[in-house]
Structure 1
Amino acid sequence: MPSSPDTAPPSSRPFSQSTYQVRLEWGVDGLARLAPADVVVVVDVLRFSTTVTDAVAAGGDVPLDAAAHAVSLNGAAVAAAADPGATVLLGCLRNAAAVARAVMAEQERRGARTSIAVIAAGELAARGPAGPLRFAVEDQLGAGAIIDALGALGIDHTAPEAAAAAESFRALRGAVRHLLTASGSGQELLGRGLRDEVLAAASVDAVDTVPVLRDGVFVAS
């Protein structure tokens, strides 16, 4: 009997991106669609990835559960859903190049071609973890910045979805500050008096820290 799309081997599932080293999807459901990857990079620019990255850069360790309650559910849900055998990193615009270097270091440590799933968290269009996912331009740009940085290091066998994100970042890099403040997520945060936080999130390669999830806690990689 033919396999169903969910039970078929990754190589035969059309949305698994299994033939590519660098893959891109959206949210928890997107992560489940992809073939298992050695490294999962969670991108939730406003605000999970950025907030946790800055906290770890300042010398702190950040428990996943605490960050989910204090910051946002989106990125936390993706990190929690990653395969236990995967290395889970947090990426954003602020540490895009550092994430690429961390992935390269992991590949060198493993001594083998390393698959990377870049997961843009998106935004929940309704309250609660089961709400529908909304496209978030800030996460598209953050994912694209990381994929672009990977390509600069020679990790450039990218799925079409990943390549499109990288090209969007390259084309729009000069407008990132405007795009983040003008986006729906940015406008929501500006309405809460968090303009400085949004502008900080738009700073590309401002920090060298890459949070990695170990035993339920984000620490410096």
Structure 2
Amino acid sequence: MEQTRYQVRFDWAAAGAHAIGADADVIVWVDALPESGSELDLSTLPQGPAVVFTDLSSAHAVAQWVIDLQVKLAKRILIAVVAAGSTRNGQLRVTTEDLLAAGAVIDQLAALGLDATSPEAAAAEAAYRGLARATSHLLTAVTTTATTAPEPEQLKVNTALTAADVRVVRA
């Protein structure tokens, strides 16, 4: 297990989920701009943790959902924030949009008091914080959106969403 000293961890794709999430209480699967036909395959993830899905818009709601879970379980929980990335020629392609969305989740978790982050998570959070004002523009300009423009609601954190709006893939 990697990043085991930290409450909030970060890595990429299914392999990263196994590296940081097998002992986690929850995996936050981040896919800022899901490609059609690229549904999350739960069989590729560690079997124990709850799994929630987020994009940039629901980062705040997911962070609140995680806090609510910690309160419900009455213990310090472990969170694996996993950026989906994409593939190119069968290999992982690290995507700017997923890095920024994952950083937004980590930033929202920190704002709610969960700041025992791994260096990897801190770097993703710093990327988001440093580029937060430009995130909407960046998400419309990345390679992924060359053929399909994202919807306006995908371009920023929506603080009106609540934990009840979170897409729980596995409880």
> When the two structures are superposed, what TM-score results if normalisation uses the length of structure 1?
0.71
1:163 deviates by: 0.5
Q: Is the 8 A contact 2:18 2:46 kept in 1?
A: no
Question: How many pairs does the alignment contain?
Answer: 167
Quick one: higher RCO (CA 8 Å, sep 6+), 1 or 2?
2
| 1:127-166 equivalences in 2 (<5 Å) | 131-166=90-125
Q: Following TM superposition, where does structure 1 have runs of at least 4 consecutive aligned residues deviating by more than 4 angstroms?
A: none
Q: Does 1:21 align with 2:14?
A: no
Give the RMSD, CA atoms, in angstroms.
Answer: 1.7
- Summarize the Cα distance change of 1:47–1:35 in structure 2 as closer, same or farther, 3 Å threshold: closer
Q: 2:128 aligns with which of 169, 192, 196?
A: 169
- Summarize the Cα distance change of 1:35–1:88 in structure 2 as closer, same or farther, 3 Å threshold: closer
1:112 deviates by: 0.8
Q: What does the per-residue CA deviation read over 1:57-100, in whole Å, with 9 as the maximum and x for residues that have no partner?
A: xxxxxxxxxxxxxx332x613x4423332110011111111100
Q: Which residue of 2 aligns with 1:38?
A: 25
Q: Which residue of 2 aligns with 1:94?
A: 57
Q: Which residue of 2 aligns with 1:62?
A: none
- Summarize the Cα distance change of 1:214–1:35 in structure 2 as closer, same or farther, 3 Å threshold: closer
Q: Which residue identity does 1:213 align to in structure 2?
A: V
> When the two structures are superposed, what TM-score results if normalisation uses the length of structure 2?
0.90
1:140 deviates by: 0.3
Q: Does 1:112 align with 2:68?
A: no
* In 2, Cα distance between equivalents of 1:104 and 1:27: 23
* In 1, Cα distance between equivalents of 2:63 and 2:103: 11
Q: Which residue of 2 aligns with 1:205?
A: 158
Q: Which residue identity does 1:179 align to in structure 2?
A: L
Q: Is the 8 A contact 2:17 2:46 kept in 1?
A: no
Name stretches of at least 5 consecutive residues in structure 1 with no aligned partner: 1-9, 11-15, 49-70, 190-194, 216-221
Name stretches of at least 5 consecutive residues in structure 2 with no aligned partner: none
**Structure of higher CA gyration radius:** 1
Q: Which residue of 2 aligns with 1:63?
A: none
Q: Is the 8 A contact 2:12 2:82 kept in 1?
A: yes
* In 1, Cα distance between equivalents of 2:16 and 2:53: 17
Q: Is the 8 A contact 2:21 2:49 kept in 1?
A: no
1:200 deviates by: 2.7
Q: Which residue identity does 2:158 align to in structure 1?
A: D
Q: Which residue identity does 1:212 align to in structure 2?
A: V
Q: Which residue identity does 1:42 align to in structure 2?
A: W
Q: What does the per-residue CA deviation read over 1:117-146, in whole Å, with 9 as the maximum and x for residues that have no partner?
A: 0000001113xxxx1010100000100000
1:211 deviates by: 0.4
1:198 deviates by: 4.1
SS of the aligned residue for 1:42 comes to: strand
Q: Which residue identity does 2:143 align to in structure 1?
A: G
SS of the aligned residue for 1:76 comes to: coil
* In 2, Cα distance between equivalents of 1:151 and 1:138: 20
* In 2, Cα distance between equivalents of 1:40 and 1:149: 15
1:199 deviates by: 3.2
Percent sequence identity is 39
